[in-house]
Structure 1
Amino acid sequence: MKEQFLLLIESHPGLIQKVCNMYCYSREDQEDLFQDIVLQLWRAYPSFRSGSKATTWLYRVALNTAITRLRQQPKAGRFAELGPEALQVPAAEESPSEEMAAMYRAIRQLSQVDQALTLLYLEDCSYREMAEVLGISETNVGYKLNRIKAQLRTLISLA
């Protein structure tokens, strides 16, 4: 089970890192959130149904962890078998352009749920996948995305 889990995490390090970048400003906070997400994924892994899409499950857990910012007390013994290699934060991608930095600043002004929806949209997830991750209808996804796009245009034009 450990090997399968590690393979899943290693297959999608950018997914977790993007969630961390979206919800945290400092490198230290990003690293803390990364570790919180990996630990939450490990906890939830036994209930993962391999019939569902792995990225949908990963996003659901990562976004829920980021949004609620659950700060668990250290339980070293509970996760000892996972090993330190799972908690290593991958090297950061190159610094974003000024245009992308402005976009991230505008996205951070949105509500946490709207930030999550924007991240999923930027990852080219289908409306169905977005609805499944966030627990809303596909129609609601479309409505919210139109509202978010208008809001982002306004925020960027004011910057």
Structure 2
Amino acid sequence: MTDDEPRARFLALLREHHKIVLKVASVYARGPQDRNDLAQEIAVQLWRSFPRYDPERRFSTWMYRVALNVGISFARRERTRGGRFEPLADPGDVAADNDEPDERLKQLHAVIAGLAELDRALIVLYLEERPHSEIAAILGISETNVATKLGRLKQRLRGQMT
């Protein structure tokens, strides 16, 4: 294997799953510039961690785990600097392929923006329709814990969305 093969493989996988980076950046960064900075920070950390990626496992699961860890760290640093989270001006930029996101989608993004970092990760993965087993693997918690936290979180979101 040449030195270029791992790089080429990484870049191909990153291109294939780039929406994961964009989604995580949109959930954990304040504005467009911060989202770009976070997306770059995630890509750099993915590259640094790539030698530890186990090809026997799904790349998207590993990628989510790294991206969410970077996103959570980024959000915590911003919070200590007094940064304020601003939800996406147009949630359709990242969240949906629709031309016009409706008001409920904008409201959902605003509610998600107010969640704690781990809860944001949990709801993003749930909205991505990831199975509980994959969410558990990404977040490093048990499937039972995923189900319990999701149940409570969905109940809380229902209350805030009505």
Name the CA distance, whole Å, in 2 between partners of 1:18 and 1:126.
18
Alpha carbons of structure 1 residues 127 and 151: separation in structure 2 relative to 1, 3 Å: same
* Structure 2: tracts of 5 or more residues without a match: 1-5, 78-92
TM-score when normalising by structure 1: 0.81
Q: CA offset at residue 15 of structure 1?
A: 1.1
Q: CA offset at residue 95 of structure 1?
A: 6.1
Q: CA offset at residue 155 of structure 1?
A: 1.6
* Structure 1: tracts of 5 or more residues without a match: 72-91
Percent identical among aligned pairs is 39
Say how many residue pairs are matched: 137
Partner residue, 2:15: 10
Structure 1 runs of 4+ aligned residues shifted over 6 Å read none
Structure with the bigger RCO (C-alpha within 8 Å, sep 6+) is: 1
Q: CA offset at residue 96 of structure 1?
A: 3.5
Name the CA distance, whole Å, in 1 between partners of 2:56 and 2:9.
15
Structure 1 position 148 matched with structure 2 position 150: no
RMSD: 1.5
Once the two structures are superposed, residues 24-62 of structure 1 have per-residue CA deviations (whole angstroms, 9 ceiling, x without a partner) of: 231101000000000000000011000011110000000
Partner residue, 1:52: 57
Report SS of the residue matched to 2:19: helix
Partner residue, 2:107: 102
Query: What is the one-letter code of the residue matched to 1:53?
Result: R
